[in-house]
Amino acid sequence: MAVATPPRVTLAATGDTLSARDFRVWRLFTWAGVVYLVGALGSFAGVARFLPPPRENWSAGHVAAFFRDHEVGIRLGMEGILAVGLFYALLSYSLFRLMERVEGRRGFLSWTQLLGGVITALITMGCAVFWLAASFRAGSRDPRDIQALNDVGWMVFDMTVMATVFQYVAFGVVCLLDSGRRPLLPRWLGYLSFWAAFTFFAVFFMPSFKSGPLSWQGLVTFYVALGAFFVWIAAVIPTALNAITRLEREQSG
């Protein structure tokens, strides 16, 4: 008995042939962004209680007391971030495939966005490891060791931001390059990407300030930059889902 296979469609911009199953997987990769958004934010702010974060100008004893008082929550929260970190890479791959429809196969900007997204996912997990280590044996560890691990976690969190900047700028440029009558990627999303990338540059002032808006817990460096990061994710997910649905309908028809 013959087994029916899903109909396949060709995406002319890249020469790819995709089945209905391929489109379902593509959507799943996009929905992975929701898992990251909810999981990372919930683990960071809700479980680990890093909102507001431990302050940069706290003494070693104060930092150690914070990690001891919230030892279980920090441990579970960082484990949650480690569990969902790579879901951001899946979202980045979904965007990569969309960008190829505009830029063409092997486009430099598409690959730059993907590389930046994968590195951002690894950075997310990297800082979580340091904060997890700081909470591990927090009751018996020297306060200066806990402070040092916390410091390294925040340095990784902030000072590696150029990976995300490259991702957002590359994505934004491709949004503006989409000059079709009905752009697959709207121009407003490109401008949002540039704005989000711009907010990240404030973190380079962080090592020079232990308090105020440019410290790691500051209004500009923490709340504005982190808010822009999550706003961007929340904006690209529905846009990508709509674009995938449109591609499937157009190429099937």
* Residue 2 is assigned to a structural domain of this protein: no
Asked if residue 77 belongs to a domain, the reply is yes
DSSP string, 91-117: HHHHHHHHHHHHH-TT-HHHHHHHHHH
Is 211 within the bounds of a domain?
yes
Calculate the dihedral angle through the C-alpha atoms of 52, 55, 60, 61, rounding to the nearest 10 degrees. -50
- Does residue 188 belong to any structural domain of this protein? yes
Q: Which amino acid is at 59?
A: S
Rounded CA gap, 97 and 176, in Å? 16
d(CA 11, CA 114): 20
Residue 5 lies in a domain: no
79 vs 48: CA distance, rounded Å: 10
Task: Tell which residue, 195, 3, 16, has the closest CA to residue 96.
Answer: 16
Domain that holds residue 96: 25-241
Name, in order, each residue with C-beta under 8 angstroms of 210's C-beta and a sequence gap of 6 or more.
56, 57
Q: Is residue 147 within 8 Å of residue 210, measured between CB atoms?
A: no
* Residue 246 falls inside a structural domain: no
Give how many domains the chain has, as a whole number: 1
- Tell whether 250 is covered by a domain: no
Cα separations in angstroms, 82 against 64, 125, 132: 22, 5, 10
Indicate the angle between helix axes 143-159 and 108-135, nearest 10 degrees: 170
Asked whether residue 174 is assigned to any structural domain, the reply reads yes
Chain segment 6-60, per-residue pLDDT in tens: 444 444 455 567 778 889 999 999 999 999 999 999 999 999 999 999 999 999 9
- State pLDDT tens for residues 50-108: 999 999 999 999 999 999 999 999 999 999 999 999 999 999 999 999 999 998 888 99
Give the per-residue pLDDT at 15.
54
Length of the chain in terms of residues written: 253
State the pTM of this model: 0.90
